[in-house]
C-alpha cells in the first residue's frame, strides 16, 4: 500500500510539473505573440515594457533562447521609443550575443541594423557605419537578398549624414531595384524616403525628391501605416516643400505631425515638427516667431538624448539671436553649434576610415577636405561675432 501511494504521489508531482511547464510555455507564446502585434502601437507603450519584462522572465525559466532574444528586442524598442534611449544599447547587445551564440546569421544581421539605427540617433556615425557593414557581410554570407537590400538602404542613409548625397541616392536605387523585384513594400517605402533625403541636397530637381517621398507616403498608405514610419516621410515631404519655398504646404505637414505626436503621446517625435516650423519662420525672417520652436526642440533633444540634429538647431538659434541683435546669445549658441558640428563630422570621418567600410568604399580624403573647409568657415563666423561684440563694447564705453 505504501509503495502504491509513493508511486501515486510521484505521478501527481510529474503531472503538476508538466502542467506548470505547459502553462508557462503557453503563457510565453501568448505574450510574445502580443508583443509582435503591438510593438509599433504607441497607445500600448506601457504594456510593451511590462510584457517584455514578463516575457524575459518566462523565457529564462523555460530556457527558451529564441523567445529570450525576441523579448530583449521588444524591451530595446520600448526604451528607444518611449523610455531611456541609452538603455536600448544594453538590451540590443543582449540580443546580439544570443543570436551570435545560436549562430543565427540573419537574425544577427538584423540586430546589427538595429544597432546602426541606435547609433544614428546618437549621431555616432562611425559606430553606425560599422554595424551597417557587418550586417551587409552577414546577409551576403547567407545570400539573403531582402537583407542585402535593407543594408544598401541603410548605407544610403548614412551617406546622407556624410554629405555624400549622390552616392546615397545610388545605394538607395540599388536597394529599390531588389525590393521592387521581391515585392517588399515596407522596406521599399523606407528606401524611397532615404532616397528623397539625399535628393533634397544632391543638386537634382526638387520635383524628383518630391516624387520619391510621395512614393514612400503612398506605399505606407496602401499598407495602412499611419504611425512613426509614415510621420517620418510626412516630415521629409515638409522639408522638400520648405526648400521649394512652398512654406504653407511645409507648415501643414509639420503641423499634422505635431498634432499626431501629441495625440499618440510621442514627445520625442515633437522634435522634427518644432525644429522645422521654427526653421520655416527663420527662412521667412519671422525671428521672434521662430525662436520658441527651436528652443523647445533643443530642450527635448537634450532630455531624450536624440541629439542627431542638435547642431542644426544651435545654428538656427544663433542666427535668430544675431538677427534680433542679441550678439552675446548669438555667440553662445554659435559656439555650441561649432562644437556639436565638429563632433558630428569627426564621427562621420571615423566612419569613412572604418575597416568594414574600406571593403566597399573609398573617399576619406575628399570627405576630410570638405569637413575641414566647413570647420574653417564656422571659425571665421565666430571671429566676426567677436569683432561685432568688441565693437559694441567699445561704442558703449
pLDDT in tens, 181-199: 999 999 999 999 999 999 9
Give helix 105-121 / helix 145-161 axis angle, nearest 10°: 20
Phi and psi at 123, nearest 5°, equal: 60, 30
Which of these ranges, 43-57, 107-121, 301-315, 371-385, has the smallest mean pLDDT?
371-385
How large is the average pLDDT for residues 70-81? 93
> Which pLDDT value is given to residue 358?
58
Please report the pLDDT score of residue 8 as a whole number: 46
Is pTM, for the whole model, over 0.85? no
Amino acid at each position: 500500500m505504501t509503495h502504491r501511494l509513493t508511486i501515486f504521489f510521484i505521478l501527481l508531482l510529474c503531472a503538476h510539473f508538466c502542467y506548470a511547464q505547459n502553462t508557462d510555455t503557453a503563457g510565453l507564446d501568448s505574450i510574445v505573440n502580443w508583443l509582435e502585434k503591438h510593438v509599433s502601437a504607441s497607445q500600448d507603450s506601457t504594456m510593451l515594457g511590462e510584457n517584455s519584462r514578463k516575457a524575459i522572465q518566462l523565457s529564462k525559466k523555460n530556457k527558451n533562447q529564441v523567445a529570450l532574444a525576441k523579448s530583449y528586442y521588444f524591451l530595446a524598442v520600448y526604451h528607444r521609443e518611449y523610455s531611456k534611449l541609452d538603455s536600448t544599447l544594453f538590451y540590443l547587445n543582449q540580443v546580439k550575443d544570443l543570436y551570435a551564440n545560436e549562430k543565427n546569421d540573419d537574425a544577427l544581421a538584423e540586430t546589427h541594423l538595429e544597432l546602426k539605427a541606435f547609433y544614428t540617433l546618437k549621431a555616432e556615425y562611425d559606430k553606425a557605419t560599422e554595424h551597417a557593414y557587418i550586417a551587409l557581410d552577414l546577409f551576403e554570407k547567407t545570400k539573403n537578398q531582402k537583407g542585402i537590400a535593407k543594408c544598401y538602404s541603410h548605407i544610403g542613409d548614412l551617406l546622407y549624414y556624410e554629405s555624400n548625397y549622390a552616392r546615397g541616392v545610388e545605394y538607395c536605387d540599388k536597394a529599390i531595384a531588389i525590393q521592387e523585384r521581391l515585392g517588399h513594400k515596407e522596406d521599399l517605402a523606407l528606401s524611397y524616403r532615404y532616397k528623397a533625403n539625399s535628393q533634397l541636397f544632391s543638386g537634382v530637381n526638387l520635383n524628383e525628391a518630391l516624387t520619391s517621398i510621395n512614393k514612400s507616403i503612398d506605399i505606407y498608405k496602401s499598407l495602412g501605416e499611419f504611425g512613426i514610419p509614415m510621420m517620418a516621410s510626412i516630415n521629409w515631404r515638409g522639408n522638400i516643400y520648405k526648400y521649394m519655398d512652398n512654406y504653407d504646404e511645409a507648415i501643414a505637414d509639420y503641423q499634422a505631425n505635431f498634432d499626431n505626436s501629441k495625440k499618440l503621446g510621442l514627445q520625442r517625435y515633437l522634435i522634427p515638427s518644432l525644429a522645422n516650423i521654427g526653421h520655416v519662420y527663420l527662412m521667412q525672417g519671422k525671428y521672434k516667431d521662430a525662436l520658441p520652436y527651436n528652443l523647445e526642440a533643443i530642450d527635448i533633444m537634450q532630455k531624450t538624448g536624440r541629439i542627431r540634429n542638435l547642431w542644426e538647431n544651435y545654428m538656427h538659434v544663433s542666427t535668430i539671436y544675431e538677427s534680433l541683435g542679441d550678439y552675446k546669445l548669438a555667440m553662445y549658441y554659435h559656439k555650441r553649434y561649432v562644437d556639436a558640428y565638429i563632433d558630428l563630422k569627426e564621427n562621420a570621418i571615423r566612419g569613412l576610415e572604418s575597416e568594414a567600410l574600406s571593403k566597399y568604399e573609398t573617399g576619406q580624403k575628399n570627405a576630410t577636405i570638405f569637413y575641414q573647409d566647413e570647420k574653417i568657415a564656422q571659425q571665421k563666423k565666430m571671429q566676426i561675432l567677436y569683432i561685432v561684440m568688441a565693437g559694441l563694447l567699445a561704442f558703449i564705453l
